[in-house]
A = this chain, B = another copy of it.
Amino acid sequence: MKGGAHFLVGFVLLALASSFASAYDPSPLQDFCVATKDAKDGVFVNGKFCKDPMLVTANDFSFSGLNIAGNTSNQVGSNVTLLNVDKIPGLNTLGISLARIDFAPYGGLNPPHTHPRATEILIVLEGTLYVGFVTSNPNRLITKVLNAGDVFVFPIGLIHFQFNIGKTNAVAIAALSSQNPGVITIANAVFGSNPPINPDVLTKAFQLDKNVVNYLQKQF
Protein backbone atom coordinates (compact mmCIF):
# COMPACT_ATOMS: atom_id res chain seq x y z
CA MET A 1 0.00 0.00 0.00
CA LYS A 2 2.77 2.32 1.03
CA GLY A 3 4.67 1.23 -2.04
CA GLY A 4 1.60 1.86 -4.08
CA ALA A 5 1.35 5.35 -2.72
CA HIS A 6 4.94 6.00 -3.59
CA PHE A 7 4.33 4.70 -7.00
CA LEU A 8 1.35 6.96 -7.35
CA VAL A 9 3.43 10.01 -6.56
CA GLY A 10 6.05 8.95 -9.03
CA PHE A 11 3.48 8.22 -11.64
CA VAL A 12 1.64 11.44 -11.23
CA LEU A 13 4.84 13.41 -11.59
CA LEU A 14 5.64 11.35 -14.60
CA ALA A 15 2.25 11.92 -16.02
CA LEU A 16 2.58 15.61 -15.50
CA ALA A 17 5.85 15.64 -17.31
CA SER A 18 4.85 13.21 -19.96
CA SER A 19 2.30 15.50 -21.39
CA PHE A 20 2.55 18.96 -22.79
CA ALA A 21 0.22 19.27 -25.66
CA SER A 22 -0.46 22.80 -26.73
CA ALA A 23 -3.49 25.06 -26.52
CA TYR A 24 -4.38 28.50 -27.84
CA ASP A 25 -3.65 31.02 -25.16
CA PRO A 26 -4.90 34.63 -25.14
CA SER A 27 -2.51 37.20 -26.63
CA PRO A 28 -0.29 39.40 -24.48
CA LEU A 29 -1.34 43.03 -24.03
CA GLN A 30 2.17 44.21 -23.21
CA ASP A 31 5.71 43.00 -24.05
CA PHE A 32 5.51 40.39 -21.29
CA CYS A 33 3.66 39.75 -18.05
CA VAL A 34 6.02 37.72 -15.87
CA ALA A 35 4.05 35.56 -13.45
CA THR A 36 4.22 36.38 -9.78
CA LYS A 37 3.15 34.39 -6.73
CA ASP A 38 -0.61 33.99 -6.60
CA ALA A 39 -2.21 36.77 -4.62
CA LYS A 40 -3.13 36.16 -1.03
CA ASP A 41 -6.67 35.35 0.12
CA GLY A 42 -6.91 32.56 -2.45
CA VAL A 43 -7.70 34.89 -5.33
CA PHE A 44 -6.46 33.91 -8.80
CA VAL A 45 -6.96 35.01 -12.40
CA ASN A 46 -7.09 33.14 -15.71
CA GLY A 47 -3.35 32.51 -16.03
CA LYS A 48 -1.30 34.43 -13.47
CA PHE A 49 -0.88 37.82 -11.84
CA CYS A 50 2.29 39.56 -13.02
CA LYS A 51 5.36 41.22 -11.55
CA ASP A 52 6.11 44.89 -11.87
CA PRO A 53 7.85 45.03 -15.29
CA MET A 54 10.56 47.24 -13.83
CA LEU A 55 11.59 44.40 -11.52
CA VAL A 56 11.83 41.75 -14.21
CA THR A 57 15.25 40.16 -14.82
CA ALA A 58 16.78 37.68 -17.26
CA ASN A 59 16.27 34.91 -14.70
CA ASP A 60 12.51 35.24 -15.11
CA PHE A 61 12.92 34.01 -18.69
CA SER A 62 15.39 31.17 -18.11
CA PHE A 63 15.92 27.74 -16.58
CA SER A 64 19.08 25.64 -16.17
CA GLY A 65 19.64 21.92 -16.10
CA LEU A 66 17.61 20.42 -18.90
CA ASN A 67 20.77 18.57 -19.95
CA ILE A 68 20.40 16.36 -16.86
CA ALA A 69 18.72 13.01 -17.45
CA GLY A 70 15.50 12.38 -15.56
CA ASN A 71 15.15 9.33 -13.31
CA THR A 72 13.34 6.58 -15.19
CA SER A 73 13.38 4.05 -12.34
CA ASN A 74 9.64 3.85 -12.07
CA GLN A 75 6.90 1.55 -13.24
CA VAL A 76 6.56 2.97 -16.73
CA GLY A 77 10.26 3.64 -17.25
CA SER A 78 10.04 7.26 -18.32
CA ASN A 79 10.39 10.75 -16.87
CA VAL A 80 9.13 14.12 -18.01
CA THR A 81 10.65 17.45 -16.94
CA LEU A 82 8.14 20.10 -18.00
CA LEU A 83 9.08 23.78 -18.08
CA ASN A 84 5.70 25.49 -18.00
CA VAL A 85 4.75 28.86 -16.50
CA ASP A 86 5.23 27.45 -13.00
CA LYS A 87 8.93 26.85 -13.76
CA ILE A 88 9.64 29.83 -16.06
CA PRO A 89 7.45 32.72 -14.93
CA GLY A 90 8.28 34.74 -18.06
CA LEU A 91 6.14 32.31 -20.10
CA ASN A 92 2.96 33.86 -18.73
CA THR A 93 0.73 35.11 -21.63
CA LEU A 94 3.24 33.83 -24.22
CA GLY A 95 1.61 30.55 -25.21
CA ILE A 96 4.48 28.07 -25.26
CA SER A 97 6.37 25.66 -22.98
CA LEU A 98 9.14 23.05 -23.26
CA ALA A 99 9.89 19.60 -21.83
CA ARG A 100 12.59 16.94 -21.74
CA ILE A 101 11.47 13.31 -21.77
CA ASP A 102 13.75 10.40 -20.79
CA PHE A 103 12.95 6.79 -21.57
CA ALA A 104 14.55 3.68 -20.05
CA PRO A 105 15.84 1.08 -22.55
CA TYR A 106 13.63 -1.83 -23.67
CA GLY A 107 10.21 -0.38 -23.08
CA GLY A 108 10.35 2.99 -21.35
CA LEU A 109 6.86 4.36 -21.96
CA ASN A 110 5.27 7.80 -21.85
CA PRO A 111 1.79 6.29 -21.50
CA PRO A 112 -1.33 7.33 -23.46
CA HIS A 113 -2.37 10.84 -22.45
CA THR A 114 -3.90 14.07 -23.78
CA HIS A 115 -2.98 17.71 -23.37
CA PRO A 116 -6.25 19.62 -23.12
CA ARG A 117 -4.62 22.96 -24.01
CA ALA A 118 -1.70 22.26 -26.40
CA THR A 119 -0.33 20.72 -29.55
CA GLU A 120 3.05 19.00 -29.04
CA ILE A 121 6.02 18.93 -31.41
CA LEU A 122 8.77 16.48 -30.42
CA ILE A 123 12.35 15.93 -31.55
CA VAL A 124 14.27 12.75 -30.68
CA LEU A 125 17.82 13.49 -29.49
CA GLU A 126 18.83 9.88 -28.79
CA GLY A 127 17.34 6.42 -29.18
CA THR A 128 14.41 4.96 -31.08
CA LEU A 129 10.79 5.71 -30.25
CA TYR A 130 7.55 4.23 -31.53
CA VAL A 131 5.08 7.12 -31.27
CA GLY A 132 1.44 7.59 -32.19
CA PHE A 133 -1.86 9.39 -31.72
CA VAL A 134 -5.51 8.40 -32.19
CA THR A 135 -7.94 10.63 -34.09
CA SER A 136 -11.18 11.51 -32.36
CA ASN A 137 -13.68 9.81 -34.60
CA PRO A 138 -13.26 7.40 -36.20
CA ASN A 139 -10.50 6.23 -33.86
CA ARG A 140 -7.73 5.98 -36.42
CA LEU A 141 -4.20 5.29 -35.10
CA ILE A 142 -1.34 7.18 -36.77
CA THR A 143 2.14 5.93 -35.80
CA LYS A 144 5.78 6.22 -36.76
CA VAL A 145 9.16 4.95 -35.57
CA LEU A 146 11.48 7.86 -34.84
CA ASN A 147 15.26 7.98 -34.57
CA ALA A 148 17.66 10.75 -33.57
CA GLY A 149 16.87 13.94 -35.48
CA ASP A 150 13.30 12.93 -36.31
CA VAL A 151 10.45 15.27 -35.48
CA PHE A 152 6.75 14.47 -34.92
CA VAL A 153 3.57 16.47 -34.22
CA PHE A 154 0.75 15.44 -31.83
CA PRO A 155 -2.36 17.59 -32.48
CA ILE A 156 -4.04 19.32 -29.54
CA GLY A 157 -6.40 17.23 -27.42
CA LEU A 158 -5.74 13.84 -29.05
CA ILE A 159 -4.59 10.75 -27.13
CA HIS A 160 -0.92 9.98 -27.86
CA PHE A 161 2.07 8.05 -26.49
CA GLN A 162 5.83 7.48 -26.97
CA PHE A 163 7.46 4.08 -26.44
CA ASN A 164 11.18 3.24 -26.38
CA ILE A 165 11.62 0.22 -28.66
CA GLY A 166 15.42 0.47 -28.66
CA LYS A 167 18.11 -1.09 -26.53
CA THR A 168 19.45 2.20 -25.23
CA ASN A 169 18.08 5.15 -23.33
CA ALA A 170 16.05 7.52 -25.42
CA VAL A 171 15.81 11.28 -24.96
CA ALA A 172 13.41 13.73 -26.57
CA ILE A 173 12.68 17.45 -26.37
CA ALA A 174 9.04 18.45 -26.76
CA ALA A 175 7.53 21.90 -27.22
CA LEU A 176 3.89 22.61 -26.39
CA SER A 177 1.66 25.43 -27.59
CA SER A 178 0.50 26.68 -24.17
CA GLN A 179 2.09 28.22 -21.10
CA ASN A 180 0.24 25.51 -19.14
CA PRO A 181 -0.67 22.65 -21.49
CA GLY A 182 -2.06 20.32 -18.82
CA VAL A 183 -1.78 16.56 -19.01
CA ILE A 184 -4.37 13.84 -18.54
CA THR A 185 -2.76 10.42 -18.30
CA ILE A 186 -5.61 8.16 -19.32
CA ALA A 187 -5.02 5.21 -17.01
CA ASN A 188 -4.44 7.41 -13.97
CA ALA A 189 -7.41 9.69 -14.61
CA VAL A 190 -9.79 6.83 -15.24
CA PHE A 191 -8.62 4.26 -12.67
CA GLY A 192 -6.72 6.43 -10.23
CA SER A 193 -8.93 9.45 -9.56
CA ASN A 194 -9.52 10.65 -6.03
CA PRO A 195 -12.19 9.75 -5.03
CA PRO A 196 -12.52 6.76 -7.40
CA ILE A 197 -15.09 6.69 -10.19
CA ASN A 198 -18.07 4.42 -9.40
CA PRO A 199 -16.83 0.95 -10.50
CA ASP A 200 -20.13 0.27 -12.29
CA VAL A 201 -19.27 3.07 -14.70
CA LEU A 202 -15.85 1.61 -15.49
CA THR A 203 -17.10 -1.96 -15.69
CA LYS A 204 -19.59 -0.97 -18.34
CA ALA A 205 -17.38 1.49 -20.19
CA PHE A 206 -14.40 -0.85 -20.48
CA GLN A 207 -16.40 -4.10 -20.58
CA LEU A 208 -14.19 -5.45 -17.84
CA ASP A 209 -14.98 -7.85 -15.05
CA LYS A 210 -15.74 -5.94 -11.86
CA ASN A 211 -12.83 -7.66 -10.14
CA VAL A 212 -10.44 -6.37 -12.75
CA VAL A 213 -11.78 -2.85 -12.25
CA ASN A 214 -11.33 -3.16 -8.50
CA TYR A 215 -7.80 -4.43 -9.03
CA LEU A 216 -6.98 -1.54 -11.34
CA GLN A 217 -8.43 1.05 -8.98
CA LYS A 218 -6.08 -0.25 -6.32
CA GLN A 219 -3.08 -0.05 -8.64
CA PHE A 220 -3.42 3.58 -9.63
Contacts and interface: CB of A to CB of B under 8 A. Distances in A.
A16 B121 contact: no
Interface string A184-206: 11111111111111101110111
B32 A155 contact: yes
Contacts of A186: 159, 186, 190, 205
B62 A155 contact: no
Contact of A136 (B64, B184, B198): B184
Contacts of A206: 187, 191, 216
Contacts of A49: 43-45
A58 interface: yes
Contacts of A191: 206
Interface residues of A, number: 132
Contacts of A67: 125, 148-149
Contacts of A144: 58-59, 61-62
B56 A42 contact: no
Given A30-B180, A46-B92, A175-B175, 18 more contacts: A22-B177, A24-B95, A26-B26, A29-B47, A31-B135, A33-B46, A42-B55, A56-B142, A61-B144, A77-B204, A96-B121, A98-B151, A111-B205, A140-B194, A173-B173, A206-B216, A207-B216, A208-B216
A136 B82 CA distance: 15
A128 interface: no
Contacts of A97: 121
Contact of A142 (B25, B58, B141, B147): B58
A130 B29 contact: no
23 contacts: A15-B137, A26-B26, A26-B27, A29-B179, A29-B180, A32-B135, A44-B52, A46-B93, A83-B121, A88-B151, A91-B153, A94-B153, A95-B177, A96-B96, A109-B201, A112-B190, A116-B136, A136-B189, A139-B189, A141-B195, A161-B197, A175-B175, A187-B207
Contact of A200 (B107, B134, B194): B107
B33 A44 contact: yes
